[in-house]
Amino acid sequence: MTCDRLVCANCAGPVSEGRCSVCRAHRERLHQENGPFSLGSLSPAALTALLLTLIAVALLARQAAV
C-alpha cells in the first residue's frame, strides 16, 4: 500500500504531504512496512514467478551435478 491516495482523518489532507503529526506518523509506518525487500510489496504473480525460477535453477543445478 502506498500513501499517495490516502486522506488523513485528522487534517483532511493527503497523507503523502505530511501536513500534521498524524499524517507524518502514518506515512513513516507505511514506509517501514513496505521496505525495498519486503515480500508484502510483491504481487502473487511475482511470487509465483520467483518460486518457479528457483525451482528451475535447482533442477538445472541438480542436472549439472550428475
Helix (H, G, I), strand (E, B) or coil at 53: helix
Tell me the pLDDT of the chain (66 aa) as tens digits.
Answer: 566 788 888 999 888 888 999 988 988 888 776 655 555 566 788 889 999 999 999 999 999 987
Cα–Cα distance measured from residue 36 to residue 47, given in angstroms and rounded to the nearest whole number:
15
Grid cell 538445472 — which residue?
60
Is the dihedral angle over the CA atoms 43, 34, 30, 16 positive or is it negative? negative
Cα–Cα distance measured from residue 33 to residue 54, given in angstroms and rounded to the nearest whole number:
25
